[in-house]
A and B are shown apart, each in its own frame.
Chain A
Amino acid sequence: MEVTSLKSYEDQVWELIGLMPGTEGLRMRALKAANEYDWPGKQDEKWRYSDIRALKNNMFEQTRPAIDAPNVPAPLSAENSARLVFINGRYSEDLSDMGDLWQAAQVRPLANHLMSNMDRADELVRGKDATACLNTALMRDGMVLSVPAGVEIDDPVEILHITINGENAGCHMRHVIELGEGASITVIERFIGDRGSYWTNSVLQARVSESAKFSHIRLQEEGADALHTAKVFANVDADANYTATNINLGGALSRLEVNVRLMTDGASATVDGVALAATEQSHDTYTQVEHLMPATTSDQLFRTIADSRGKTSFQGKVVVAKDAQKVEANQSFKALTFDKTAEANAKPELEILADDVKCSHGATVGQLDEKAIFYLTSRGIDPATARQMLVEAFTADALKAVGFEDVKQEILTRISDWMAARANKVSTEE
């Protein structure tokens, strides 16, 4: 099959320029850049673990409005301060609930932001590869959420993305989160969809000002045939913190890239994640944490599980800039594989240009401990429950940053359900 030229997305770009006049320069430059980068190939280290032929060989149309009424699930947290719902990449006022958020923070649709603040368009991340540039060229909706200095929003804001009737359509979401000095917020991004072969290509960029705190929970549970590529860019100022928990469960293929820049002394980041790959599924996470200034710290902890012919991958790059002394960076990746056909890839990469730093990394790939399973079953616990207990224990470390107990329970329930579905499948096959 022939690779689709990125230039062939130009018609879609013009359609969007028509909708949002004034965005021509930004979009056309991004498309040109996408074309120059071209699709990541096998030689591209950052993409080596994801087979993206399904992306390259197809032409994804812009998503159209949904035909069917979407099934909107209950919010993850009962304590939501607001919920923003996007159906097929379009903000739905009817399904969203702004709560009191509009009083505490500025919330604007991306289109308004682009058209009213063209001077700020340059602050939009354009990306360093084809998918991110294509997002900039084709973004149509998203939220620009600005939390003013000193405002602490305790309860989470959920951004729910639903894609239905989106066969062969691509949805390029862009969210911008800005936290003023000392501000704080938790954003839960959630992605769900139907069985269509759609493509979600999302970018979230965040600016975390001095002493602010941005907690970001990403729950990716796309439809089983979906492709999900996503990038997160977070710039973190002095004494500010970015904390992310990335859960990858859905889609046929997912690739998440988290780029964190610790810009000033005392900036810190925690980037954790769990990925569960069922048969024929692939989840790939690439992180890059740049310690640009002294006394910045980062912790990364990922736990993944791959079932038969499933695949999980993790590449974690930590960069410590010249003279960025007293930096501390820890990285831990552990994967479980359920049999010999399951695949787990791990590649830590350290680029350290300062000499007084503490950096650690560890990566292990193993199986569920048969001795532990026997021990649990020898106390009357059935094997499926025993495996579930061990898997929960295995993933628990990677969920410790989730600050809301009900959200954590929801995530744990999904992990249990995944294990239960697997146990059912195995018992039918036997």
Chain B
Amino acid sequence: MLKINDLHISVDGTEIIKGLDLEVKAGEVHAVMGLNGAGKSTLANTIAGRDDYEVTKGSVSYFGKDLLELDPHERVGEGIFLGFQYPVEIPGVSNLNFMRTAINSVRKYNGEEAMSAAEFMKLVRSKAAALKMDPEMLKRFVNVGFSGGEKKRNEMVQMALLDPKLAILDETDSGLDIDALKIVAEGINAQRRDDTAILLITHYQRLLDYVQPDVVHVMIDGKIVKSGGKNLALELEEKGYAAVA
């Protein structure tokens, strides 16, 4: 599904990603682990298409397409979803209007009819309920006044609505208490299917107790230095990054 070859990314002239290779297949859950500053978020944001990251070398292909050629919204249309580490607050735009515009934008991209208001309301209510989100929060402005956990839960509702093929979740576990973590993990597991893939970006092993990865990668200084099974995460937690890499 996703194939990254010798990727180099610079931000403001400084190279952050320094030759990264990664392949993710349908049905797989990958975890990319690393300390702050290793380049994990840069990788996630580049896949989603944020334009202040400059790809200086290498390629990213997604279902055989050159992903770097597509604008961010087109990538979403193609089935990519980025769960933000810090979801953005947007005063004046209601969560419902936001989500409905998003889902209909993706449908339009794929040549489908817009969803009616009634159909949308039914869908969003069921997704919010599954993630135990207070339906009142749907009426509020996007992420405004939400706690850290509520923001992450809101990300999961959006993911469930857009039903992506490839979900990249950037530190979705950070700032969550254990109950919220379990709910978010359930949301991620619900998205886990034979035809989807998930890339978890995290620096703690904690989330991986609830979402078992197929592959764990260790990222240090802009490169993946080691890959292995889920035990690699436990090893990292126990011995630290220096010893493992």
Q: Which A residues form the contact surface with B (CB < 8 A)? A: 369, 371-372, 374-383, 385-386, 389-390, 392-394, 396-397
Contact = CB atoms under 8 A, between A and B. Distances in A.
Interface centre among B48, B84, B88 (most CB of A within 10 A): B88
Given A382-B105, A385-B101, A385-B105, A377 B90 contact: no
A380 B88 contact: no
Interface of B: 48-51, 71-73, 76-77, 82, 84, 87-88, 90-93, 97-99, 101-103, 105-106, 109, 158, 162
Nearest to B77: A380
Contacts of A372: 88, 90
A396 B88 contact: no
Contact of A375 (B77, B84, B99, B101): B84
A393 B102 CA distance: 16
Contacts of B48: 378
A382 B92 CA distance: 18
Nearest to B92: A393
A381 B158 CA distance: 13
A48 B99 CA distance: 45
Contacts of A374: 50-51, 72, 88
Contacts of B109: 380
Contacts of B101: 381, 385, 389
A375 B73 contact: no
Given A375-B84, A383-B73, A393 B91 contact: yes
A381 B102 contact: yes
7 contacts: A369-B88, A374-B88, A376-B98, A377-B49, A378-B49, A380-B76, A381-B105
Contact of B76 (A378, A389, A393): A378
A393 B93 contact: yes
A379 B49 CA distance: 11
Nearest to B80: A378
Contacts of A385: 101, 105
Contact of B90 (A380, A382, A383, A390): A390
Contact of A394 (B49, B92, B105): B92
A399 B7 CA distance: 48
Contacts of B162: 379-380
Contacts of A375: 84, 87-88, 90
Given A371-B88, A376-B90, A381-B101, 5 more contacts: A377-B71, A377-B76, A380-B76, A389-B98, A394-B92
Interface centre among A375, A378, A397 (most CB of B within 10 A): A378
A196 B49 CA distance: 46
A379 B71 contact: no
A164 to B, nearest CB: 37
The 8 closest A-B pairs by CB, nearest first: A393-B92, A380-B76, A379-B102, A375-B88, A380-B106, A377-B72, A380-B105, A377-B73
Nearest to A395: B92
Contacts of A392: 92-93
Nearest to A379: B102
Contacts of A381: 73, 101-102, 105
Nearest to A370: B52
Nearest to B159: A379
Given A374-B72, A378-B76, A383-B73, A396 B105 contact: no
Contacts of B71: 377, 382-383
Contacts of A378: 48-50, 72-73, 76, 82, 84
A151 to B, nearest CB: 37
A419 to B, nearest CB: 14
B92 A397 contact: yes
Contacts of A377: 49, 71-73, 76
Nearest to B88: A375
Contacts of A397: 92
A381 B101 CA distance: 7
Contacts of B84: 375, 378
Contacts of A383: 71, 73
Contacts of A379: 76, 98-99, 102, 105, 158, 162
Nearest to B107: A380
Contacts of A394: 92
Contacts of B77: 380
